[in-house]
C-alpha cells in the first residue's frame, strides 16, 4: 500500500482528501494541529492522525519521521494547510500579512523541503500543492491571499526542474469556488474603521464573493482530483478543478488583460 501525508486534514479539502485516499486503499497520514479534536477520521481503519503545524519546523520534522517509522515510506505529500484573508489591503497590519504568508507560503515550503529530503533518499515521490485558481488570476479584496497563491505557483513551477532528476514529481491543484470554511468560520475579513471611503466597493465585492462560496462545489470534487494527480505517471503540472476554475483559467490565458479585467469589473459591478 502507498502512503500519503495530508496537511490541514481536519476539515474541508484536506479531510475530504483523507477520506478519498483511504477509500482508494492508501495508508493515510492525516495531519493537523489538534488531532485530539478529530473523531470522524479516527474511525477509518487505514488512517492515522498526526500533530503537525506548518508554522513550526520541529513539528513538521517530527510528524514526517513518525509517518516514516509507521509506514516505512512516504509516497505522496499533499500540502493543503492554509486559510484565506480578504478585505481592504490598506487596513491590513504587518501581523496579518505575515501570518497569511507564514501559513500559505512559508509553511508549504517548510513541508516541501522536508518531503524532498525524504523522497530524494528513497529515490522518488510526489508533492502536491493545493493552490487555487486565484494563483493565476485575481478578484477584488483578496490581494494578500492571491499574493500567497501566486507565490506557491511560481515556487512550484520552478521547483519541478531541480527535483525531477531525483524521481520527484510536483503537482499544483487549482480549485475554484469550493464549499469549505474558507467562506465560513475560518474567514478573516478586514476593512478600515477610520474611513468609509471603501464601503461601497466592499459591499458590492463582498456580496459577489460570499455568493460564489455558497454555490461552490463539494470538497470531494477536489479530493478526487488530488488522488488523480497522485496516481498520474506523466509530468503534468497543473490540475484545475471545480467550477469556474477551468473556464476562467482558460479565459485568463486567451484574453488580453484589459478584456479580462473588464469582465471581472462587470461581474462585481465596480
148/250 Cα distance (integer angstroms): 21
- CATH of residue 37's domain is 3.40.50.720
pLDDT tens-place string over residues 239-248: 999 999 999 9
Find out whether the peptide bond into 244 is cis, omega within 30 degrees of 0.
yes
The three cell numbers locating residue 70: 509507521
Domain range spanning residue 200? 3-268
pLDDT tens-place string over residues 125-169: 999 999 999 999 999 999 999 999 999 999 999 999 999 999 999
Just list the catalytic residues.
Answer: 145
pLDDT tens-place string over residues 48-102: 999 999 999 999 999 999 999 999 999 999 999 999 999 999 999 999 999 999 9
* pLDDT greater than 90 at residue 218: yes
pLDDT tens-place string over residues 6-22: 999 999 999 999 999 99
Contact 54, 103 (CB under 8 A): yes
Amino acid 223: pLDDT: 98
Amino acid 87: pLDDT: 96
CB count within 10 Å of CB 12 equals: 24
Q: What is the mean pLDDT of the chain?
A: 95
Amino acid 184: pLDDT: 59
pLDDT band at residue 182 using 50, 70 and 90 as cut-offs: low
Amino acid 188: pLDDT: 85
93/227 Cα distance (integer angstroms): 37
162, HSE (Cβ side, Cα atoms, 13 Å): 9
The domain total for the chain is 1
pTM: 0.96
Amino acid at each position: 500500500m502507498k502512503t500519503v501525508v495530508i496537511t490541514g486534514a481536519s476539515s474541508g479539502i484536506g479531510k475530504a482528501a483523507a477520506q478519498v485516499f483511504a477509500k482508494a486503499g492508501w495508508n493515510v497520514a492525516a495531519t493537523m494541529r489538534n488531532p485530539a479534536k478529530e473523531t470522524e477520521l479516527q474511525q477509518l481503519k487505514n488512517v492515522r492522525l498526526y500533530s503537525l503545524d506548518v508554522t513550526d519546523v520541529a513539528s513538521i520534522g517530527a510528524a514526517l519521521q513518525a509517518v516514516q517509522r509507521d509506514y516505512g515510506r512516504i509516497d505522496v505529500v499533499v500540502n493543503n494547510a492554509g486559510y484565506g484573508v480578504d478585505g481592504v489591503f490598506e487596513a491590513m497590519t504587518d501581523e496579518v500579512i505575515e501570518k497569511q504568508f507564514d501559513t500559505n507560503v512559508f509553511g508549504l515550503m517548510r513541508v516541501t523541503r522536508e518531503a524532498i529530503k525524504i523522497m530524494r533518499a528513497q529515490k522518488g515521490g510526489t508533492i502536491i500543492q493545493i493552490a487555487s485558481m486565484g494563483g493565476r488570476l485575481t478578484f477584488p479584496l483578496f490581494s494578500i491571499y492571491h499574493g500567497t497563491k501566486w507565490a506557491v505557483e511560481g515556487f512550484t513551477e520552478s521547483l519541478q526542474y531541480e527535483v525531477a532528476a531525483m524521481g520527484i514529481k510536483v503537482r499544483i491543484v487549482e480549485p475554484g469556488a469550493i464549499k469549505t470554511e474558507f467562506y465560513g468560520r475560518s474567514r478573516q475579513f478586514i476593512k478600515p474603521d477610520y474611513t468609509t471611503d471603501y464601503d461601497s466597493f466592499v459591499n458590492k465585492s463582498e456580496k459577489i464573493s460570499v455568493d460564489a462560496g455558497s454555490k461552490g462545489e463539494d470538497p470531494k470534487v477536489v479530493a478526487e482530483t488530488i488522488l488523480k494527480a497522485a496516481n498520474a505517471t506523466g509530468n503534468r503540472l497543473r490540475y484545475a478543478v471545480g467550477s469556474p476554475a477551468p473556464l476562467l483559467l482558460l479565459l485568463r490565458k486567451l484574453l488580453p488583460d484589459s478584456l479580462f479585467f473588464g469582465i471581472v469589473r462587470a461581474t462585481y459591478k465596480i
